[in-house]
């Protein structure tokens, strides 16, 4: 941006402030205080440092900006409008209205230029860590001369209070992510009051202990001090940076500045009038952008266009090498081979002995790593148990980002959010792994991945009480139902090697949402199939494993480890009933529910002649949407510490007891009907 006078710079900053104030007032809802206080630092960052192109918001070597303090969303919407992104004044007037580009918190895909869905505090910082690591790993593959962007962000007190930011920030410091710079809006006010009620540790010392470079700017309106701090942060090639900028929430509001009243409510018409009067801003029109401010932003965009054009020429020159072009397309498009299903089916074709699905998955992952080089990931310090380590893939280490295995440490929540950061950035297909029970620790990033339609992969092992002796603290009961309750998350619980291969194919091919792969610790006996397994049929999420003779009178639906148990249970049914029983495998409920209604009812008839049963070693409340008033054979209490066979006997999940429960239920129903 050309050299601005102090008067023009003040006017540009006040433009940001009052676009936010007017939008919140117009909506009668929102958070005006944060944008009013943070406008100077945001202005300096965007007009002096951030690289962007509003006509190509996702160009690969842009700098990323993450507003972790997503409640202050009008800050980023004002910036996007001024910077020439497809966010109009009319969009600002529709702030928080149905189907607008300006929702209450920034949402990825809804608004051009928004890099991550933020609002749940702390998630944005952790996403930014994932983005910064993604850029480091991409640069290690294509060269830092081609990829050298920064990830910038603004965070709040609330972000630093949430535990997920601590987990991710610790990892960022360990990995020496010098391309990560966060401005901390240190206004010392949260929704319920001043932060000294709850939040009194020295935040900068804490981040220094994480391995971050830290600075403090005492006056949030001192644009030159802010600029110097950002420049100093960019010199830290081996440390992420946190810059605490002392701001005043609701700056300019005579009666609400530096109070929690400016945090989450409109100022009110009288206070808006007084604030504009105090800062010398015209009362009318609302949503004012002075011509000279718009011109200064246009000049900045014009300067950045030169940087963008030069990079495009560099990319074009680099791609003249055919190997480079193939590599780039692989990463930029997250390509998977057309014969992926066939290749992974071959990996499991010779598996005939009993094996844990986590162990089968280990073999599949090695082939996946060979076929899809941008698959990367790791576990929450559980590689020896989840079997998710890519052999010969190398480790990501501080200062060395060539590897494919990421050691997240015991940080499930942070791991999930960092995985999402990779997915937001869009070059890698990332996965994170832990025990199914600990999906509870990472539910917020799972939900956000589903909301933002990210290709995040979550691998969960130890999927039922049959993990055994570790006991109920590690044995999931309600987790499957909880995960299946999340819209746009596909949950795969395979019951044999072919289904394991299918689950990985599904996850790698699905680019518009996350996938959870749920795997066993215990070995499963191979399924008895009348014909060779069909992976394409399995990919539909449900299929008939054992067909009835004629129209079925009983349909049993099972998943995972209960699939072979249910198949073995057939021999304990009355022979006449057994002949009329269909056994259905449903490794992915969500895919089955996408079928047309008539196809669903053809597989699972809902009529008076057919009884429906679901078998799964879990709480099972979610199965009633599948089986209606049928029987759920599951586990509705916490597990116990014991070997798996003892648990199966005690909890009624052996083949004999499954058959016994079904037979008893049918008999009770028959007696009831007779009495009726």
* Residues involved in catalysis: 412
- What are the tokens at 241? 């940076």
Q: At what angle do helices 322-333 and 123-142 cross, to 10 degrees?
A: 160
CA distance 155 to 70: 9
* CB contact at 8 A, 348 and 500: yes
Which distant-in-sequence residues (6+ apart) come within 8 Å of 349 by Cβ? none
* CB contact at 8 A, 77 and 55: no
Q: Give the residue among 68, 133, 158 at the shortest CA–CA distance from 403.
A: 133
CA distance 532 to 499: 13
CA geometry: angle 69, 71, 73, nearest 5 deg: 90
- What are the tokens at 473? 């603290």
CA distance 66 to 114: 8
In angstroms and rounded to an integer, the radius of gyration of the C-alpha atoms of the chain is 28
Q: Give the residue among 222, 231, 264 at the shortest CA–CA distance from 150.
A: 231
HSE-CB at 140 with a 13 A cutoff on CA atoms is 19
Instruction: Say what the alpha-carbon torsion angle 464, 465, 467, 472 is, to the nearest 10 degrees.
Output: 120
Q: Where are the beta strands (DSSP E) in 259-398?
A: 355-356, 375-379
Give, in order, the Cα–Cα distances in Å from 30 to each of 111, 267, 332, 626.
17, 10, 36, 40
- What are the tokens at 354? 């009993």
CA distance 187 to 157: 8
Q: Where are the beta strands (DSSP E) in 165-303?
A: 180-186, 189-190, 193-194, 213-217, 241-246
The residue assigned the tokens 């206070």 is 271
Instruction: Say what the alpha-carbon torsion angle 662, 668, 673, 676 is, to the nearest 10 degrees.
Output: -160
Which distant-in-sequence residues (6+ apart) come within 8 Å of 65 by Cβ? 45, 46, 50, 52, 76, 113, 115, 152, 153
Number of residues written out for the chain: 676
The residue assigned the tokens 């009831």 is 672
Q: What is the largest CA-CA distance in the chain?
A: 92
151-155 and 64-67 as β-strands: parallel, antiparallel, unpaired?
parallel
Q: Give the residue among 370, 361, 402 at the shortest CA–CA distance from 515.
A: 361
């Amino acid at each position: 941006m050309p050299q601005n006078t102090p008067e023009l710079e003040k006017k540009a900053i006040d433009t940001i402030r009052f676009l936010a104030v007017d939008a919140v007032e117009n909506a009668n809802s929102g958070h005006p205080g944060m944008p009013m206080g943070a406008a100077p630092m945001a202005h300096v960052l965007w007009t002096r440092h951030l690289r962007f192109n509003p006509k190509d918001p996702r160009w690969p070597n842009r700098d990323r900006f993450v507003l972790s303090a997503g409640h202050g969303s009008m800050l980023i919407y004002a910036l996007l409008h001024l910077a020439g992104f497809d966010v109009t004044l009319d969009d600002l007037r529709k702030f928080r209205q149905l189907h607008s580009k300006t929702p209450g918190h920034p949402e990825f895909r809804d608004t051009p230029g928004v890099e991550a869905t933020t609002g749940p505090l702390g998630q944005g910082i952790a996403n930014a860590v994932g983005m910064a690591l993604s850029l480091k790993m991409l640069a290690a593959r294509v060269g830092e001369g081609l990829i050298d962007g920064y990830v910038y962000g603004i965070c709040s007190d609330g972000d630093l209070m949430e535990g997920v930011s601590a987990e991710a920030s610790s990892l960022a410091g360990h990995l020496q992510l010098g391309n990560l710079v966060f401005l901390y809006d240190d206004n010392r006010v949260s929704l319920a009051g001043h932060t000294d009620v709850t939040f009194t540790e020295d935040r900068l010392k804490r981040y220094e202990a994480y391995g971050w470079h830290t600075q403090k700017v005492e006056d949030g309106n001192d644009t030159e001090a802010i600029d110097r701090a950002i420049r100093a942060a960019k010199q830290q090639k081996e440390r992420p940076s946190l810059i605490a900028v002392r701001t005043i929430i609701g700056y300019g509001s005579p009666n609400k500045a530096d109070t929690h009243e400016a945090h989450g409510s409109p100022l009110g018409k009288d206070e808006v009038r007084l604030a504009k009067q105090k800062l010398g801003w015209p009362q009318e029109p609302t949503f004012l952008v002075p011509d000279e401010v718009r011109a200064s932003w246009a000049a900045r965009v014009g300067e950045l266009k030169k940087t963008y054009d030069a990079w495009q020429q560099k990319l074009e020159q680099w791609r003249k090498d055919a190997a480079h072009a193939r590599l780039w397309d692989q990463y930029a498009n997250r390509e998977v081979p057309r014969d992926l299903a066939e290749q992974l089916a071959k990996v499991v074709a010779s598996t005939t002995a009993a094996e844990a699905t986590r162990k089968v998955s280990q073999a599949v992952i090695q082939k996946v790593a060979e076929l899809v080089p941008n698959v990367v990931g790791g576990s929450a310090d559980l590689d020896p148990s989840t079997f998710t380590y890519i052999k010969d893939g190398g480790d990501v280490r501080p200062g060395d980002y060539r590897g494919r295995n990421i050691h997240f440490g015991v940080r499930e929540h942070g791991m999930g959010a960092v995985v999402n950061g990779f997915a937001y950035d869009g070059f890698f297909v990332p996965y994170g792994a832990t025990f199914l029970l600990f999906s509870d620790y990472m539910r917020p990033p799972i939900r956000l991945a589903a909301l933002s339609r990210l290709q995040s992969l979550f691998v969960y092992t130890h999927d039922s009480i049959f993990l055994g002796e570790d006991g109920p603290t590690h044995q999931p009961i309600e987790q499957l139902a909880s995960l299946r309750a999340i819209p746009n998350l596909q949950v795969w619980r395979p019951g044999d090697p072919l289904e394991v291969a299918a689950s990985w194919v599904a996850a790698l091919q699905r680019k518009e949402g996350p996938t959870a792969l749920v795997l066993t610790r215990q070995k499963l006996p191979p399924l008895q199939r009348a014909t060779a397994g069909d992976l394409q049929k399995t990919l539909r999420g449900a299929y008939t494993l054992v067909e009835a003779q004629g129209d079925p009178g009983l349909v049993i639906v099972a998943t995972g480890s209960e699939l072979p148990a249910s198949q073995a249970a057939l021999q304990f049914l009355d022979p006449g009933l057994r002949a009329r029983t269909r056994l259905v495998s449903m490794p992915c409920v969500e895919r089955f529910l996408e079928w047309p209604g008539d196809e669903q009812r053809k597989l699972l008839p809902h009529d008076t002649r057919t009884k429906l049963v679901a078998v799964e070693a879990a709480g099972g409340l979610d199965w009633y949407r599948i089986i209606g008033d049928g029987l759920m054979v599951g586990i509705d209490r916490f597990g116990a510490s014991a070997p798996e066979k003892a648990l199966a006997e005690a909890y009624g999940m052996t083949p004999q007891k499954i058959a016994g429960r079904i037979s008893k239920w049918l008999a009770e129903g028959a007696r009831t009907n007779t009495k009726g």
